[in-house]
Amino acid sequence: MKTFTVGAIAASVTVAFVAEAAATEWNASVWGKRRAFTEHVEKVAELVAEKTNGEFTINVSYGGLSAPRENLDGIEIGAFEMAQFCAGYHRDKNRVVTVLELPFLGVNTLEEEVAVSMAVYDHPAAAEEMAQWNAKLLMTSPMPQYNLVGTGDPRDSLAAFDGMRVRATGGLGQAFEAVGGVPTSVPATEAYNAMESGVVDTVAFAQHAHLSFGTINQADWWTANLNPGTVNCPVVVNIDAYDSLSDEHKAALDSSIPEALDHYLANYAELLQRWDSVLEEKGVQKVEISDDVISEFRAKAADPIREEWIADMTAQGLPGQELYDLVITTLEQTRDGS
C-alpha cells in the first residue's frame, strides 16, 4: 500500500491546477467552408498551437456558432473569442472601415489591400469604434477586386447595368446603384440560390467566392477587368478574451498575424494563377470591359460616392477626410516601397 504525505498531495493538486489554468481554448466563428478567404484564420490557429505546445488552441467553426451577419454581435457578448465579418453586413456598426469599400480606390494587388487595411485598422478611430462592440481588429481578409458573373448576354456597358439586379454589398452596391443597378446584399452563402432562382441577374464576388459558393457554375460570363472595388472583411477578437491571455499566449497570437497573412497571400496567388483554366473548364466567357465604359463608370460612381462618404462620416464626428487620405497615402507609400 502506497502512502502519500499531505505536502505531496497538495503539490500534485497545485501542479494539476496550474496546468489546467495555463490552457486556453478559443472558438472562432466564420462561415461557408474552408477556402482561400479563411486560410489566415486556419493558419493562426495552427501557429498559436505550435508556439504554445498546444496550450493555446483555436477551434474554427464554419457556421456552427453564428450567422455571418451576427458575428460581431457574438463577439460583443462573448459568445466566442474570434470572428470574421464583412463591413457591408452592418455598415452602421463599423463605419470607419467602410472607407476601404469605397469604389475605385485604385488598389491593384492583395499586398496593397493588406497595407491599406492595416493602416486603417491601426487608426485610433477604428479601434475606438470597434471597442464599442468589445472587439479588437486583428487582421484583414484581403481580397482582389470584385468582378461580376452573370447569365445570358454579357453586361458590358453602363446601359446594360441599368436595372441589373446584382448581389453586391457596401460601396460596391452603391457603385452599381449609381449607374442604375439594383443591389441586394444577400449573404454570400445565399448567393447561388439567389442567382439560380432569378432573384439576382449577376453576382459580384472575388474569384475564391465564385468558386466556393458555386456562382461560377451558374455563370455564362465573367467580367475580367471591371474592378470597381472590393469588400473589407476584418477578423476581430473579443477584447476581454484578448486581455485575459497570458503574456506568452498574447505574444504567440500577435506574432502569428504576419505569418498568417503571408500564408493567405501565397495561397490566393495559386488560385489566381489557375483562374483562367477554371473559366475554360466551366465554359464561362471572359469579358473585357472597354476603357471608355470603365472611365464612365468611375466618373459616375467614384467621386460622388467618396464625397458623400466623407461628408457623412464628418457629420457623425468621424475623421472621414483623414481616413480617406490615409488610404491614398498608404497606397502611394506601399508602391514606393517606403
Strand ranges of the sheet holding 135-139, from the earlier edge strand across to the other edge: 56-62, 24-30, 82-84, 235-238, 135-139
Give the contacts of 130 (CB within 8 A, at least 6 positions apart): 94, 136, 137, 236
The count of other CB atoms within 10 Å of the CB of residue 185 is: 16
- First and final CA of the chain: distance in angstroms? 72
Domains and CATH numbers, the chain: 24-142+231-272 (3.40.190.170), 147-230+275-336 (3.40.190.170)
Coil/strand/helix, residue 18: helix
DSSP category for residue 289: P
| Whether the Cβ atoms of residue 101 and residue 309 lie closer than 8 Å to each other | no
Number of Cβ atoms within 10 Å of the Cβ of 121: 21
Q: What does pTM read for this prediction?
A: 0.84
Please list the pLDDT of the chain residue by residue as tens digits (338 residues).
444 444 444 444 444 444 444 799 999 999 999 999 999 999 999 999 999 999 999 999 999 999 999 999 999 999 999 999 999 899 999 999 999 999 999 898 999 999 999 999 999 999 999 999 999 999 999 999 899 999 999 999 999 999 999 999 888 999 999 999 999 988 889 999 999 999 999 999 999 899 999 999 999 999 999 999 999 999 999 999 999 999 999 999 999 999 999 999 999 999 889 999 999 999 999 999 999 999 999 999 999 999 999 999 999 999 999 999 999 999 999 998 86
State whether residue 284 is helix, strand or coil: coil
Q: Which residues pair with 166 in a beta bridge?
A: 183, 202
